[in-house]
Amino acid sequence: MNLSKAALKKISTEVEIPSDKIFELPEKVLQFGTGVLLRALPDYYIDKANKKGVFNGRVVVVKSTSNGDTKDFENQDCLFTVCEKGIANGNIVEKYIINASISRVLSASAEWEKILECACSKDMRIVISNTTEVGIQLLENDDVNQQPPVSFPGKLLAFLHKRYQVFNGSPESGMVIIPTELIVDNGKKLHDIVLILAKQNGLDDAFIHWLQKHNAFCSSLVDRIVPGKPNAEELGTIAEKFGYTDELYCDSEVFSLWAIEGDEKIKEALSFAQCDENVVIQPDINLFRELKLRLLNATHTFNCGLAFLSDFNLTRDAMQDESYSAYAKQLMNFEIATSIPCEIDGEIKSDFSYKVYERFCNPYINHQWISITAQYTSKMKMRCLPLIKQYYKLFNKVPVSMATGFAGFLLFMKSVKFDNGKYWGEHNGKPYLITDDSAGYFYDCWQKFTPAQLVTEVVNNELLWGADLKSIKGFDLAVTTFLEKMIDEGVVKIIASLEKKTALI
């Protein structure tokens, strides 16, 4: 039995099922993107609110790319299952939800007029997007009159211009636009591109005034691991258990966050936020960006090389090891949390650290350490170096756990072979691919220098880091000590030998 409206009454009661009233709700959201992150985050929140009778609006999805088609959505009446799996407050969670937030999916290339018709609806209030980072870029001279315009900002501009024309530029016809692409200040950047395109297309000053004054471009930050669709065997097991097949099924972790920059007026428009504390609307979301960037992303980066070289494949494997888990907790609580370069309440940091640790322990998410090492150098630069510098500035000493993580980074970046344009390291006699734009630089360093010389070379390379690491007295010596010990004794032994403080997690 395929998932559909007709099949809902025959489905196992173990699954959360929408009521018939949901299908009668008006369309309030235009969403650019069909991907699993949008379905398991914004659409998840909207569906949750609709089921509580709060937001009472559905989503029209725009499929902008030419890859694939919309048949799976059509065949399932746009229904899909989201399974939340993971650990929350120490408890294992496994929850299955049939989401009915999407009313229809329209192809930009084949159904552009229908998309523009959505601009004519008084109910339509919100635009959401996730077109990847490449989507929020200026395409010079993108024609707003094309059917459709080429770029996402061009399509959005055409939609807004149509709405302006239909409603004669009334203030209440303005939209709340929330990009979720992983770009800092994504709302501001999208606004600036749309404004440039409006001027390049010769749109009149009255429209540009309406665009700027009555439309809100809200920067946002999303955070949820959504692995997506399971393999055929897992889908077969799920179908047998619940009595239906779902080609749009997706798994997600329990944790979720959608931080949106906005005021009370934005809160009123985004009423679905009332139904989940993880949708946060505030004038400044920098706090959440820093928490994610430092306590989640930087922790990933400091750990990935060390964990891989300690023979842990998945994030949860490392957290199940007593010594390694203690190292990760100490890194987060006593070094990263104290070094975040903005004022954040200690209780908030502690709570976020705890949630990060639970995410690492998730028994359902197969998050590989080797995948986190991709572009290791740039991640170390952006996520970690500001923390190392801030810790030294605050405490006038080298952060031991961070220095250990940096040494692990250098050891992981030791290429032993360059073959067909690719660099390969070796661990326990097995090769591993180093996916990093700076792999060639480190290959040359390891060929020419001793470990101590290599550390000096790398630490002194201001061009590579965009910062002066030499000013952190003792950092190079600490990294050299840990690197040499890792080479002589192995990473596992070094991690086990580190002095541990009492963990807060």
**Domain-embedded: residue 2:** no
Q: How far is CA 386 from CA 377, 469, 479, in A?
A: 14, 10, 17
341 pLDDT tier (thresholds 50, 70, 90): confident
**Domain-embedded: residue 3:** no
- Residues with Cβ < 8 Å from 281, sequence gap 6 or more? 260, 261, 262, 266, 267, 270, 273
User: Do 29 and 66 fall within a single domain?
Assistant: yes
505 pLDDT tier (thresholds 50, 70, 90): low
User: Do 142 and 228 fall within a single domain?
Assistant: yes
**Domain-embedded: residue 210:** yes
**Domain-embedded: residue 1:** no
219-223, 292-296, 433-437, 465-469: least confident range: 465-469
pLDDT mean over 440-462: 97
User: Do 450 and 486 fall within a single domain?
Assistant: yes
Provide the pLDDT for residue 230: 87
User: Do 73 and 23 fall within a single domain?
Assistant: yes
User: Do 320 and 269 fall within a single domain?
Assistant: no
**Domain-embedded: residue 277:** yes
Residue (of 275, 231, 272, 223) closest to 250 by Cα position: 231
Q: Would you say residue 503 has pLDDT above 60?
A: no
**Domain-embedded: residue 231:** yes
Residue 267: which CATH number? 3.40.50.720
pLDDT tens digit sequence for 36-76 = 999 999 999 999 999 999 999 999 999 987 666 789 999 99
User: Do 265 and 298 fall within a single domain?
Assistant: no
User: Do 260 and 184 fall within a single domain?
Assistant: yes
User: Do 355 and 377 fall within a single domain?
Assistant: yes
Provide the pLDDT for residue 68: 66
Structure tokens at 263: 């005021």
Q: Would you say residue 452 has pLDDT above 80?
A: yes
pTM: 0.91
Where does a domain end: 282, 309, 343? 282
Provide the pLDDT for residue 502: 56
Where does a domain end: 264, 282, 300? 282
CA 73 to chain centre: 24
pLDDT tens digit sequence for 149-166 = 999 999 999 999 999 999
Q: Would you say residue 392 has pLDDT above 80?
A: yes
Q: Would you say residue 133 has pLDDT above 80?
A: no
65-74, 228-237, 356-365, 370-379: least confident range: 65-74
Residue 454: which CATH number? 1.10.1040.10
pLDDT tens digit sequence for 476-488 = 999 999 999 999 9
504 pLDDT tier (thresholds 50, 70, 90): low
Where does a domain end: 233, 266, 282? 282
User: Do 344 and 278 fall within a single domain?
Assistant: no
Provide the pLDDT for residue 501: 72
Provide the pLDDT for residue 335: 97
pLDDT mean over 330-338: 96
Parent domain of 384: 286-497
pLDDT mean over 401-405: 98
CB 290 within 8 A of CB 340: yes
132 pLDDT tier (thresholds 50, 70, 90): confident
User: Do 345 and 247 fall within a single domain?
Assistant: no
- Residues with Cβ < 8 Å from 360, sequence gap 6 or more? 315, 316, 318, 319, 328, 367
**Domain-embedded: residue 191:** yes
CA–CA dist 100, 19 (Å, integer) = 9
User: Do 185 and 304 fall within a single domain?
Assistant: no
Provide the pLDDT for residue 420: 92
pLDDT tens digit sequence for 271-323 = 999 999 999 999 999 999 999 999 999 999 999 999 999 999 999 999 999 99
pLDDT tens digit sequence for 74-85 = 999 999 999 999
pLDDT mean over 176-180: 98
Mean pLDDT computed over every residue of the chain: 95
**Domain-embedded: residue 505:** no
Query: What is the CA angle 102-136-127, rounded to 5?
Result: 30
Residue with tokens 């032993």: 416
User: Do 294 and 274 fall within a single domain?
Assistant: no
Residue (of 77, 200, 87, 196) closest to 137 by Cα position: 196
Residue (of 455, 413, 417, 420) closest to 435 by Cα position: 413
CA–CA dist 455, 461 (Å, integer) = 10
CB 256 within 8 A of CB 223: yes
214 pLDDT tier (thresholds 50, 70, 90): very high
CB 391 within 8 A of CB 403: no
Q: Please give the tally of structural domains in the chain.
A: 2
Helix axes 322-330, 400-412, angle to 10 degrees: 120
